[in-house]
Structure 1
Amino acid sequence: MSDLPSATANTTTLFLSDADVAALSDWPSAVRALAAAYALPVSDAMVPPRSMARGDGVWLRSLTAVSPSGGHLGCKLIAASPRAGRASYLISLFDQRTMALSALIDGNRVTGLRTAATAAFAVDLLAPRRALRVGVIGAGFEARGALDCLNAVRELGAVRVFSPTPASRERYAAGFRPGIDIAAVDSAEAAVRDADVVICAARSRDESPVLRGAWLPAGATVVSLGSTLPEQREVDEDTLARAARVVADMPEEVLHDTGDALAAARAGVDVAGKTVSLADLAAGGAAARRADGDIVLYKSVGSALQDVVIAEMLFALARERGLGVTLPATIAPVAK
């Protein structure tokens, strides 16, 4: 007889609010969870391309993945109305053994968590083992999260930040705790000139690139987080031409759906030929550099694998700490 529960077995679903996610989140745990997941085999079928349904001024995006841990399979839904300036994020987790709906999670903070934590994980694989000199272009939510998370898992040396708005870059620099050598500078070139790691999390109003490859020192690791659609630009063609390796969390989407890669390909850069997946890099199946002076670009569009792994982490922590609300009703798996 099967050891799976019957369709009428008692199952419960835990709901985690945005406040619960905030209480459960910490950078080192998120990076460890992602590192553990990327150390396991991940096939393309486990993380298919995202889909999007569009209406009149509204859209619904779906990102699905099967966790390599064997614990859950999940989906993140993003419902948005750009016209109204509103969006909702929902993550569902289903138990891989029983198909029971384990959790529903407000995904608002999860996107920021997984973006920053995956970037920090990539930097840890790519950057030299020393106190890192970091240049930051951007002073918004993603730029703050990326540096905050990197600071939680690696030692930082000097940090220089540029935003075209002086007040924004000064506020960004002042927002980190004392002890970090961080200062605002008056140009993007000044921010990246001597950097081991360059974090790009900004786009210009006219979508012209904010990072020029000519500015990059030998051996730099570039992290590009802010351009994820064909019409968006963040780094110029020379950045991709100078990169010895492009590491992508979702290679096909990076190559075919991001303005940076599309523009470089039109300019004759063999972006596809130098691109490897973050999963292959983490598993040791691909090398990032042949020489210490090689420039490497980590390009992120976000992955359902990252969302589901972070959601699994939050669910496990919530059960340990007694957080969340058990819903009064759930969906019972049925025999098929």
Structure 2
Amino acid sequence: MHDSPVPPVVAPTLFLSDADVASLADWRVAVAALAEAYACPTSDAMVPPRSMARGDGIWLRSLTAVPPAGGHMGCKLIAASMRARCASYLIALFNQQTMALSALIDGNRVTGLRTAATAALAVDLLAPQRALRVGVIGAGFEARGALDCLKSVRDVAQVRVFSPTPASRERFAESFRPGLDIQAVNTAQEAVQDCDVVICAARSRDESPVLQGAWLSAGATVVSLGSTLPEQREVDPATMERAVCIVADMPQEVLHDTGDAIAAISAGVYVADKLVALADLVAGRVIARQNESDIVLYKSVGSALQDVVIAQALYERARQQGLGIELPASIVPVSK
């Protein structure tokens, strides 16, 4: 059988640089795109486990997904060198109907966009419907993105932030002023006291938990973003024990591959019994909180579905706004 090109009726491949992504990013659009994707039935085959090829001090990770809402499918490739201490991120989007390569996108910022937007989606569904009191542990880009995105979709009444570095927490607080009632505090316990929402986006140098479950107020919604590997810790077993429901974007990865869950299970916490998928929460198939006093936890490890859905939203906005570079040549879909 000879491969023959399909008649060229597809749009040119669009390249979006890191600067393009920065100018196109919109929190509300990102959250809405994720809500649509998670509301559709998704099979395991559509979002398979990530894979990694390793060399001597270098690795290439691949995350692929076919979003159930249609449009595009895609992959995120991460090339990293531990020796050179650098990494490159590339997202490729293919049209689900024509198989054409619609876009190549610098994925540097996409991880931060999808992490924050997915967390905001979860909080919007889990937290009480009122102006929220928010505690933040961490003052890095993940914490900044999570708070910035949350305040774009929900009314935030008050924020307290803790970072072990006083200058970092003061800078973080100042970056949200004016317009937000935010205070930098001296301890993590002070940051989360009496809060409706607790955002954890930090880990200690020795990987001891930065959040103690004993500090949490009744009815708190906890978001854990900073620990995604077996050797990493962020919340203690008491946090996972007090949670009546643990919502996860990738339940099996959270259960088996995160240090927080591994430690909780070792301490006798029945994590699997209260673990539910974010997709089930979005689709209304589960009710996470039975009583107002219940504590719930959203645990994030990240998913290719989130990357591809956010990339598609960026691509659509780029086409609308005339941004990006149309490549002079691209791959040609062939008949098979």
Matched residue, 2:216: 216
The SS at the match of 1:317 is helix
Give the deviation of 1:179 after TM superposition.
Answer: 2.5
The SS at the match of 1:117 is helix
The aligned runs of 1:136-147 (5 Å cut-off) are: 136-147=136-147
Give the deviation of 1:130 after TM superposition.
Answer: 0.4
The SS at the match of 1:75 is strand
Q: CA-to-partner distance for each residue in 1:231-282, whole Å, 9 max, x for gaps?
A: 0000001100111000000011111111000111111111111000000110
The aligned runs of 1:199-238 (5 Å cut-off) are: 199-238=199-238
Could you tell me the TM-score, scaled by structure 1's length?
Answer: 0.97
Matched residue, 1:304: 304
The aligned runs of 1:268-287 (5 Å cut-off) are: 268-287=268-287
Matched residue, 1:7: 6
Matched residue, 1:131: 131
Matched residue, 1:243: 243
Matched residue, 2:97: 97
Which shows bigger deviation, 128-137 or 62-71? 62-71
CA distance in 1, matches of 2:310, 2:243: 30
CA distance in 1, matches of 2:24, 2:213: 39
Given residue 147 of structure 2, which amino acid in structure 1 is its aligned partner? L
Which shows bigger deviation, 122-131 or 65-74? 65-74
Alpha-carbon RMSD = 1.1
CA distance in 2, matches of 1:36, 1:186: 39
Aligned 8 A contact 1:8 1:332 in 2? no
Q: CA-to-partner distance for each residue in 1:90-120, whole Å, 9 max, x for gaps?
A: 0000011111111100001111111001100
Give the deviation of 1:8 after TM superposition.
Answer: 4.3
**How high is the sequence identity, in percent, across the aligned residues?**
75
Matched residue, 1:120: 120
Which shows bigger deviation, 224-233 or 63-72? 63-72
The SS at the match of 1:31 is helix
Given residue 290 of structure 2, which amino acid in structure 1 is its aligned partner? R
The aligned runs of 1:12-51 (5 Å cut-off) are: 12-51=12-51
Which shows bigger deviation, 122-131 or 64-73? 64-73
CA distance in 1, matches of 2:251, 2:163: 29
Q: CA-to-partner distance for each residue in 1:178-211, whole Å, 9 max, x for gaps?
A: 1311001100000011100000000000000000
The aligned runs of 1:179-218 (5 Å cut-off) are: 179-218=179-218
Give the deviation of 1:177 after TM superposition.
Answer: 3.0
Give the deviation of 1:157 after TM superposition.
Answer: 1.0
CA distance in 1, matches of 2:236, 2:81: 30
The SS at the match of 1:244 is strand
Could you tell me the TM-score, scaled by structure 2's length?
Answer: 0.97
Give the deviation of 1:58 after TM superposition.
Answer: 1.1
The aligned runs of 1:129-168 (5 Å cut-off) are: 129-168=129-168
Give the deviation of 1:214 after TM superposition.
Answer: 0.5
CA distance in 1, matches of 2:7, 2:206: 57
Given residue 279 of structure 2, which amino acid in structure 1 is its aligned partner? A
Point out where structure 2 has 5 or more consecutive residues left out of the alignment.
Answer: none
CA distance in 2, matches of 1:233, 1:46: 29
- Runs of 4 or more above 3 Å deviation: none
| 1:290 matched to 2:290 | yes
Matched residue, 1:109: 109
CA distance in 2, matches of 1:201, 1:57: 27
The SS at the match of 1:206 is coil
Point out where structure 1 has 5 or more consecutive residues left out of the alignment.
Answer: none
Give the deviation of 1:14 after TM superposition.
Answer: 0.7
